[in-house]
Chains A and B, each alone.
Chain A
């Protein structure tokens, strides 16, 4: 079975542009998470979806960041008016349910010039 799939794997964009990052969770997983990993750092929680609702958005760093999820499937993380400090690897994880182990994708490496 396929694991968590993220696209693109790499994204280079200019400061001020908007970017969209995509996550395809494992089929049947109701819980979905986005994390950010800055160079040399641990992962920081961004947002949690249960189904298509987001009961916890507490990790989103600013209102330039938003995310949505279609049903219990694809999720997109959107960053508007990107800044250099947004450069990081953005990781998506899914789990069968909230209390089950989280399985990570390989991430999208975002570089802001």
Chain B
């Protein structure tokens, strides 16, 4: 049973464009929704996280939008750069414990 569904599987964006990755979850007990960035051969690095008491959180070029009623959340990368090319994972958990991950999105930003 896949509790966090992530789409798209891969995404190609031109430099300066907006990258959008979507996730949907099933477990209504989840209350912590982080996004991780992973470069080849490296471990995932926490980018940004949100809790369901807010609908949006912005940190620099990265924004999480959260829709509690639809049980969906998304990552928006503004002004995408070639250095943003990586695999992005959404995750969900109850109280940031035992993270359940999506399958990942391979983002390629063309120069």
Chain A interface residues (CB < 8 Å from chain B): 4, 33, 35, 40-45, 48, 56, 59, 91, 93, 95, 98-107
Contacts and interface: CB of A to CB of B under 8 A. Distances in A.
A48 B43 contact: no
A101 B96 contact: yes
Chain B interface mostly: strand
Interface residues of B, number: 23
B89 A42 contact: yes
Contacts of A59: 98
Nearest to B106: A40
Contacts of A95: 96
A98 B104 CA distance: 24
A43 B95 contact: no
Nearest to B39: A106
Contacts of B104: 40-42
A105 B43 contact: yes
Given A43-B99, A48-B98, A106 B46 contact: no
A40 B34 CA distance: 19
Nearest to A100: B96
B41 A106 contact: yes
Nearest to B9: A40
A60 to B, nearest CB: 13
Contacts of B102: 42
B98 A56 contact: yes
A45 B96 contact: no
B99 A106 contact: no
